[in-house]
Chain A
Amino acid sequence: MTRAFLEIENLARRFPGSDGELTVFENASFTIEKGEFVCIIGHSGCGKSTIMNVLAGLDAPSEGHVFMDGIEVAGPSLDRGVVFQNYSLLPWLSALHNVTFAVRSRWPGWDKDKVREHSYRYLKMVGLGDGAELRKPSQLSGGMRQRVSIARAFAIQPKLLLLDEPFGALDALTRGTIQDELVKICDATRQTVFMITHDVDEAILLADRILLMTNGPYARIAESVKVELTHPRERSTIIHDPGYYRIRNHLVDFLVRRSKELAGVVSDTDTPSVTSTTPVEVNPAVAAADPPTANNVGAAKA
């Protein structure tokens, strides 16, 4: 068996608390293939962001290992680009310089013009230009800031792109536009992406696979839901796919009901629910029968 591009093995993160250790999540094991777009969904506090920080190398796991291309992740690297929820642009630099900052650290040998030209190309790709690139982040709208942040992450051409709720702080219209752009860019570049989201529809639109986390503490990755919808996806046509609502219902059912039922299971007491650390593979789009959750369609967001 060949190794997957990204392998996460038995990851756990425990924090020292006032009354003993607090386990945020444990036994998290999953893999991501090259070119795959994987979303992770779960309620607040289940440790999604912690997993992302471990993947980015910003945080060290209490247990377990992360391997990328067969090499263990130890510390941050330019091979993994991160888009933070709050954009994390450097406010004293213009949009363009925020990108050249990244490009220069990726390719220190490049001359000024090449760095500039490369950065411009990626800003153009996310729809920024015509003078907007010369403005400081404080003079840009939230959506534009997030575009700069995405351009910065893509510009360093990372092997793995990590997105931490990138659209969480944006209004619905802006979010929609940037999601569409992200779909286009990812289809074109076949970028490997791991993304945290709270938004079920966003996950279905973007992802090839969706990981579902149970509630914390002692959260774990319970299911890996395959999103078998054709590419390229469009917001307007995707909803007519018969698989769409089956996937959606499955996700919503998990979030409103089963994430709670499966939560708080301590692995070292031998409860039958945890027999394997790998998530259960589910493919609702081709599943014969739906779970009885058709009335959950209205609950759009977790």
Chain B
Amino acid sequence: MLQSLNARATLLSIALLLFMLGIWEFANHPPSADKPLTEYEILMGGADQEARVPAPSEIIGRAVEELSDPFYDAGPNDKGIGIQLAYSIYRVLAGYFLAALLAIPFGFLIGMSPLMYKAMNPFIQVLRPISPLAWMPLALFIIKDSETSSIFVIFICSIWPMLINTAFGVANVRRDWINVARTHELSSLRTALTVILPAAAPTILTGMRISIGIAWLVIVAAEMLVGGTGIGYYVWNEWNNLDLTSVIFSILMIGVVGMLLDLALSYATRLVQYEE
């Protein structure tokens, strides 16, 4: 039953894809010259006045071309899609893991201590809703390096879900399990590592999964702002080149990489998941 459900779902997905691509493809053909060109049109070389969104066939062509040599480097404005994506992924992972390094121990602290929770809560509530890009000018001023600043922006946007989820997960570990640790005379450190951490791990990983999603959203905007390298810069650069085919191709690549990052985290979540 499940097998056939999956099969049917796949079939439907493919059908929908083909249907949408088909509409897109045919809607984008320039109108056929059913009437003779006007004098003006002939003067202008018969060009179509309206710029069109490129058809899927063009994008697929571009994708094949780009993906067959993703790592070429022909100067600052002409790098392969692989290099640009690698820059973005590097920044996301750097900022993300720095955030995790801080957010998880700190989340433990405020999850275990009601005093710390109450004391820190106002700061978290004010800092959390700030758009990560709003930090960019301040980061550029203080850090004076655009590369590091974009890593900082990723750091600041991915810290909150991890911090809040860790604190929540730690604070809500079942009383019974804490009592098990207490009756077995575990030290605080061993309680934290062998009872609280595995108990809160699914919640923590959920926070990490939310964070990686946000980080990938933000890196594109951040790179559009600071420029130089990265997939965000690539999109903006191709827009300046009026190369819409490349813009659409890179949009798709952003989606694919985002999905892969999310899949990796959801796999990690499954590893620490337990059933009560």
Contacts and interface: CB of A to CB of B under 8 A. Distances in A.
Most buried by B among A56, A57, A84, A105: A105
A227 B36 CA distance: 113
Given A76-B185, A105-B184, A91 B179 contact: no
Main secondary structure of the interface of B (DSSP, over half): helix
A90 interface: yes
A90 B180 contact: yes
A293 interface: no
Interface stretch (B109-117, B193-201, B214-222): B193-201
Given A58-B179, A90-B195, A102 B276 contact: no
A80 interface: yes
B184 A101 contact: yes
Given A92-B199, A138-B274, 9 more contacts: A56-B183, A77-B183, A84-B180, A86-B176, A88-B179, A91-B274, A92-B201, A105-B185, A136-B274
Interface of B: 176-177, 179-180, 182-186, 190, 194-195, 198-199, 201, 272, 274-276
A138 B273 CA distance: 12
Interface of A: 56-58, 75-78, 80-82, 84, 86, 88, 90-92, 101-102, 105-106, 136, 138, 156
A105 B186 CA distance: 7
Contacts of A56: 183
8 contacts: A57-B183, A76-B182, A76-B184, A76-B185, A77-B185, A90-B198, A92-B198, A101-B194
Nearest to B184: A105
A82 B274 contact: no
A87 to B, nearest CB: 9
Contacts of A138: 274-276
B182 A78 contact: no
B272 to A, nearest CB: 8
Contact of A78 (B185, B190, B201, B272): B185
Contacts of A76: 179, 182-185
A136 B176 CA distance: 17
Given A88-B176, A88-B177, A90-B177, A58 B182 contact: yes
Nearest to A59: B179
A105 B275 CA distance: 24
Contact of A91 (B182, B190, B276): B276
Nearest to A102: B184
A81 B194 CA distance: 19
Contacts of A78: 183-185
